[in-house]
Amino acid sequence: ILDNKEKLSKKVAEIVAKRINDFNPTEDKPFVLGLPTGSTPILVYKELIELNKKGAVSFKNVVTFNMDEYVGLDENHEQSYHYFMYETFFNHIDIKKENINILDGMAKDIKLECARYEEKIKSYGGIHLFLGGVGEDGHIAFNEPGSSLMSRTRDKELTEDTILVNSRFFGGDVTKVPKLALTVGVGTIMDSNEVLIMANGTKKAEAIRRGIEEGINHMWTISMLQMHRNAIIVIDEEAANNL
């Protein structure tokens, strides 16, 4: 638990940089990093860009897998997670384009796209560190309440709550928010060597309490982290309000 969002973001960026540096990745043995979107990681990405510029960490031999993507938004749509990731992070670091993996929300065959993603993760021997945020209702990636805790990458209908919360990025217009997303499953996240979930602000306080202090429950998918051997939750004082 850190004082505020700034300290939290610095800490998370430091952890990510340390894991990459300790691993000492090469072209043949890259570091595999799972990445989130949302407002929470924006400052973390900023910190990582700074560390990259200073030469304190390199992404040359880092392979990334994003958690999720809206169905029906192409990569040039400003609200697609694809666009967000390039604008916020990838365009500003030394990562190789071929090492970036993001689910294709325009894929004709959704099932095939999700299976391809799982296979690709497997081909690297799995994810070393999965970084994530959490929704107000406790969802990780787009694993909405009621998701199977063993789920793999698949399409998921968004709940009304999530559509409402995310409508702030679509000019407040709920009708513009896609109703369907592609997302890695809870099981996919659980397979990673390490998972780091971050949260800030009072709006996340209940999700954090449910995730840490209540039992494992598929209505609050963050709670599945209790079963992970290597999970870290980094939050600010406000998100710790209900603990």
**Single-letter amino acid code for the residue at 59:** F
- The smaller minimum CB distance to ligand GLP, of residues 133 and 211, is found at 133
The dihedral formed by the CA atoms of 156, 65, 40 and 235, expressed in degrees to the nearest 10 = 100
Residue 28 known to be catalytic: no
Binding test (CB under 6 A) with ligand GLP, winner from 133, 138, 178, 185: 133
Residues 4 to 43 in contact with ligand GLP, rule: CB under 6 A: 36-40
Closest separation between CB of residue 186 and ligand GLP, Å?
13
Closest separation between CB of residue 110 and ligand GLP, Å?
17
- The smaller minimum CB distance to ligand GLP, of residues 60 and 228, is found at 228
Q: Which residues pair with 197 in a beta bridge?
A: 132, 233
- The smaller minimum CB distance to ligand GLP, of residues 44 and 61, is found at 44
Residues 36 to 55 in contact with ligand GLP, rule: CB under 6 A: 36-40
- The smaller minimum CB distance to ligand GLP, of residues 25 and 34, is found at 34
Applying CB under 6 A, does 162 fall inside the site for ligand GLP?
A: yes
- The smaller minimum CB distance to ligand GLP, of residues 101 and 162, is found at 162
Residue 68 known to be catalytic: yes
**Angstrom distance (rounded) from CA 31 to CA 35:** 13
Closest separation between CB of residue 229 and ligand GLP, Å?
22
Closest separation between CB of residue 237 and ligand GLP, Å?
17
Q: Mind spelling out the 3-state secondary structure of 147-201?
A: CCCCCCCEEEECCHHHHHHHHHHHCCCHHHCCCEEEECCHHHHHCCCEEEEEECC
Binding test (CB under 6 A) with ligand GLP, winner from 68, 104, 191, 238: 68
Binding test (CB under 6 A) with ligand GLP, winner from 105, 142, 156, 240: 142
Residues 163 to 222 in contact with ligand GLP, rule: CB under 6 A: 166
Closest separation between CB of residue 28 and ligand GLP, Å?
31
Applying CB under 6 A, does 134 fall inside the site for ligand GLP?
A: yes
Residues of this chain that bind ligand GLP (CB under 6 A): 36-40, 67-68, 132-135, 141-142, 162, 166
Catalytic residues: 68, 137, 139, 144
